[in-house]
Amino acid sequence: MSKLILWYRILVKLFLFFMFGLGSIVLITVVFPTIRLFSPSSQTFKRRSRKAMCYTQKFFVGLGTLIGGFELKVENKEYLSHLSGKIIVANHPSLLDVVMLLSVIPNADCIIKASLGHHNVISGIVNTLYISNSLDFDHLTKECTKSLKEGNCLIIFPEGSRTKADGVHHFQRGAAHMALSSGCSLVPVAIGGTDKYGLRKHDPMLSYNPKEKYIYTLTPLPEVNPKDYAEIPVPAAARKITEKIKTDIENALNR
């Protein structure tokens, strides 16, 4: 890749970050208050706001594709976009993973890091729509189960934070415990594509993949039904489910 193209893509990345921040401000100050004004209940407000988030992320992904910042390829997109009451479990290679998922899944709920609730730009969004991981486990399970029963899909990154360059990290068992508690199936999604240097944890802001454009691939894998593990003690079942999901995602990424 020539230095001219590399610097163009770095500038595109910075521009997209700016647009993301601007879009977040518009959502918080204009879109959400307007939706709340015409929503008869909190549940209706959240459902409509999640759809608005999906449309916003679709626009962001479309803009990023148009100006050459990245490209999104989704396998079985129709299936992903019509999921209901499922726990979406994905690896977490970059900063934009949740954006890609939200652009495809219109009824997505998320468990988010408590620190994001204090972030100046996006705190209004995450505190309004999503579930903080600072809740105690019983309260967290109750909120997640309620959201799933309402037909939302719950996005969980079991690695806890973005993957470093050395591959998929240890998977925590929270998603498996959530599935066993709620009875809802898990849908593993492998997030692959080209190297995400510049969007990984601790990468410099003024950096970009020096070889090629960011390409994201979303590959949904066979569902994991917690009922298949009903005869196993919960701790062992959670371990087996987590190991299966991690193995399935790693195998999909290594094809």
For the chain, which domains are there? 3-253 (3.40.1130)
Q: 153: which strand partners?
A: 108
3-state secondary structure of 25: helix
How big is the chain, counted in residues?
Answer: 255
Q: Please compute Rg for the chain using Cα positions.
A: 18
At residue 34 the predicted structure's pLDDT band, cuts being 50, 70 and 90, is very high
C-alpha span between 156 and 73 (Å, rounded): 20
Q: Which tokens go with 62?
A: 């479309």
The yes-or-no verdict on residue 121 having pLDDT over 60 is no
The larger pLDDT score, comparing residue 123 to residue 160, is at: 160
C-alpha span between 109 and 190 (Å, rounded): 18
The yes-or-no verdict on residue 55 having pLDDT over 90 is yes
Of the chain, the percentage scoring pLDDT greater than 90 comes to 71
User: In this structure, are residues 229 and 180 in contact, taking their beta carbons and an 8 Å threshold?
Assistant: yes
What pLDDT score does 167 carry?
61
Burial class (CB in 10 A: 0-12, 13-18, 19+), 233: exposed
Q: Name the one residue in this structure whose structure tokens are 């998922």.
A: 101
pLDDT digits (tens, 9 = 90+) for 66-115: 999 999 999 999 999 999 999 999 999 999 999 999 999 999 998 877 66
